[in-house]
Amino acid sequence: MENNHSRIGESELDLIEMMDEIILESNSLSIFLQMAVDLVCLGLKNPSGGVIILPNLRQETLQSAWHNPQPGWLDANGVPSTTMEELMHAVQMDLREQEKDNLLAMPIVNRKKLIGVLILVQNEFNSEEMDVLRILTRMIGQRVRHFQANAATIGRDELNALLRTYCNAVGTSEELLRAGEKIFSNMIKAYKAQAIILVTGSDGTKSFATKRVFLGPNQWQGAQKIEFSTGLLRECLDSGELTQWGNAKTNPRANNLVDRVEEVPSATLVGIPLCTAGRKFGVIGILDSGLFPLDPVDQSLALSISTILAQILYNAELSENIKHLDDELSIKKVEAANSTTALKVLFESTPFLFYIINQEYKIVTINSGRAKLAESSPHDLIGRVCHEALFQSREICQGCLVGTTLESGKSTSRSKRNWIKDTPFDWEVNCYAIHNNKGVTIQAVISEIDVTEKRRLEAELLQNEKLVAMGQLAATVAHEINNPLAAIIANAQLLLKDTPSQNQDLVESVKLIELAGLRASHVVKNLLGLARKEEYEFAPMDINESIQDALSLLSHEFMSRPIAIRFERGQNLPPIVASRENLESIWINLLMNSIESIGTDSGSIEINTFYDEGNFYVLIRDSGIGIPDEQLGRIFEPFFTTKSHGRGTGLGLSVVKRIVHAHSGSIQVDSEIGKGTTFTVILPEMQPDAKASVNET
């Protein structure tokens, strides 16, 4: 400096002395920067404007000070222009003076480290003025470094005090995250960092962890589950030592999900493991610290911070474990205190019927379901003898096994059937012994389970098994039956041709043979259709004609009975795409049911057809005896019949339903005892190329 001073005039020396006075008098960074840039610009007189910018300083004070800003230096938002940024970048690259567009940029350096830039409007500075500028920038650099060191020391002291406070106060990891706002704000301030990464939930053995990022006040990024098996911070955790990387952005071992933050370039990274009491709890990452590389003092502070944070996490873990144990203990106390209530809730909520009796057969407790069945309330039944209160019997119920359970201490089970309002119900009754501490049976629990539906389903399954067996039998003998039937039908038809038409009795007899053969063949076909897949050939046809053909086939039935037939044909019906043979089978089965329902008495059958909104409707109404309500739900079941023994197979309506469903239709039935029955068949319009196959059993 003395060599430079020997070439400087008195006015320049006065300028250096004035800078010394500013350094002594200023007590804040912003005031100092403003006085310094004003002194340089006014003292040298040549520059018409200037600015001091501290690009790496992350403080709450100003980062720059301006003297007479020139047009073009700042954009509309007050941000330095591209030219200014290029100058600052050039200075940062080689720490030397730079010139561009009549601007001179001087590096502000301290300990060979750039901490700011002085930019002036250049007016041909002479060598003495350049020497003065170099001296002044060094003086500015020393003073700025002094302010920064004081700020860092204050930030570290605040951080240490803050951590000691939270170490004693924080009880859970969630409370730590709420406290992290102040903790990590002070860390960013102390280390002049761009961001802090916090990875927790891994002790070095787990491959997954939780990552959180803090960018500044109110800038927490949400927790993110990450794979934590690779990366620089993973290496730091595994080693258990503070590690620094100057090329984190290009390091091939870096893991983008772990080591980087999208909003930060992350050129440098400092990893600090969270360890205490021989345990690892995670790792902290400091991105782009202005103090990089950390000196031993900064490293020591970082390790102290990590140790305290690890201790907080350890205390939080212990606190959560204790809270969990307390919760379990509280739950057990509640369970023990409310065991009677829990038993009552179980009794009331179960779909089974429960009650408990003692050795004297008196009811100790009973659930509402069982009390309701007895048309009483639990309060009125408790204390009464069970067979008297529940079954209105002075004697122990027939077949009751409760006595056996009370005497032997073993569980028993039995089935029973009783009638409730003329409806049969099947029950499974189970009895379980309750023992005291000495193993003596003192009470019995009786459960009554309604298995009526189960029995019905079992019966239905048995019926289906019968159906399968019938289908297998029909398939086996179909060939042997169909061949003789074909011969009978063929010969009857030949005989009918050779019979003189004048001999009406003989003609009718032959027709009866033919019709009986056709009906027998139809029954065999129905049996086969129930057990195997049957192809339906669909073609356009007149639905009225199919009904008329069925009436013709049954004409002899109507002629022999006093039954009036009325067929109300729908007019101008479109063709229906259906299977003619199977449709005729529907009408024959329904008409035969109506004929047999009317019996030998006089009666009527009415048939109506009409078309509405894409559906064909066929109604067959008779004046027969009707079908009881309790049987209406079963009439379409295979082998179920309301006819007397030997008069029906129970297959007719089952076949009807199968054929209707094959046509994508539906069938409905309404009946009233003594007035008759109405079947409604609804068939949709189908396309001419429609084909269907069914396999309903």
Average pLDDT for 314-329: 80
Q: Indicate whether 4 pLDDT > 60.
A: no
* 172-225 residue pLDDT tens: 555 555 656 677 777 888 788 889 999 988 766 778 888 988 888 777 777 888
**The predicted structure's pLDDT at residue 152:** 55
Q: Does the domain at residues 533-694 carry the CATH identifier 3.30.565.10? A: yes
Say how far residue 104 (Cα) sits from the centre of its chain.
64
Q: Indicate whether 532 pLDDT > 80.
A: no
Query: Which stretch, 247-261, 293-307, 514-528, has highest mean pLDDT?
Result: 247-261
d(CA 227, CA 307): 24
Q: Indicate whether 256 pLDDT > 80.
A: yes
d(CA 344, CA 367): 8
> Which residue reads 């894409």 in tokens?
614
* Structure confidence at residue 430 as a pLDDT band (50, 70, 90): very high
Q: How many CB atoms lie within 10 A of CB 445?
A: 19
* 436-457 residue pLDDT tens: 988 899 999 998 888 888 887 8
CATH superfamily of 2-150: GAF domain (3.30.450.40)
**The predicted structure's pLDDT at residue 610:** 94
Handedness of CA 345, 348, 353, 357 (dihedral sign): positive
- Long-range contacts, 248-252 (Cβ 8 Å, 24+): 248/287
Average pLDDT for 253-282: 87
**The predicted structure's pLDDT at residue 361:** 92
CATH number among 1.20.58.760, 3.30.450.20, 3.30.1330.20, 3.40.50.880, domain 342-445: 3.30.450.20
Specify the CATH class of 451-532 in words: mainly alpha
**The predicted structure's pLDDT at residue 696:** 40
Q: Residue 224 phi/psi, 5° resolution?
A: -130, 125
- For the chain, what are the domain ranges? 2-150, 170-321, 342-445, 451-532, 533-694
Average pLDDT for 380-390: 91
Angle between helices 504-531 and 652-662 (to 10 degrees): 70
Q: Where are the beta strands (DSSP E) in 220-367?
A: 220-227, 243-245, 269-276, 279-287, 353-358, 363-366
Give the gyration radius of the chain's Cα atoms: 51
Going from the C-alpha of 196 to that of each of 181, 193, 295, 587, the distances in angstroms are: 11, 7, 19, 85
**The predicted structure's pLDDT at residue 340:** 66
What's the chain's average pLDDT?
A: 80
Range of weakest confidence among 147-161, 403-417, 511-525, 670-684? 147-161
In a 13 Å sphere around the CA of 538, the CA atoms on its Cβ side amount to 18
Average pLDDT for 667-677: 90
* 617-664 residue pLDDT tens: 999 999 988 888 888 777 877 666 666 544 555 677 888 888 898 888
**The predicted structure's pLDDT at residue 1:** 41
d(CA 642, CA 653): 11
d(CA 185, CA 264): 16
Strand partners, 52: 65, 118
Q: Residue 510 phi/psi, 5° resolution?
A: -65, -40
d(CA 20, CA 187): 33
CATH of domain 170-321: 3.30.450.40
Q: Indicate whether 425 pLDDT > 90.
A: no
Burial of residue 98, with CB atoms counted within 10 A of its CB: 0-12 exposed, 13-18 middle, 19 or more buried? buried
Give the residue among 58, 57, 52 at the shortest CA–CA distance from 22. 52
Query: What percentage of the chain exceeds 70 in pLDDT?
Result: 80
Higher-confidence position of 384 and 498 = 384
Average pLDDT for 310-331: 80
d(CA 280, CA 512): 99
Q: Residue 245 phi/psi, 5° resolution?
A: -125, 125
Burial of residue 493, with CB atoms counted within 10 A of its CB: 0-12 exposed, 13-18 middle, 19 or more buried? middle
Domain 170-321 in the same topology as domain 2-150:
yes
Q: Which residues contact 291 (CB under 8 A, 6 or more apart)?
A: 152, 191, 192, 298
Name the DSSP letter for residue 496. Answer: H
> Which residue reads 């009390």 in tokens?
371
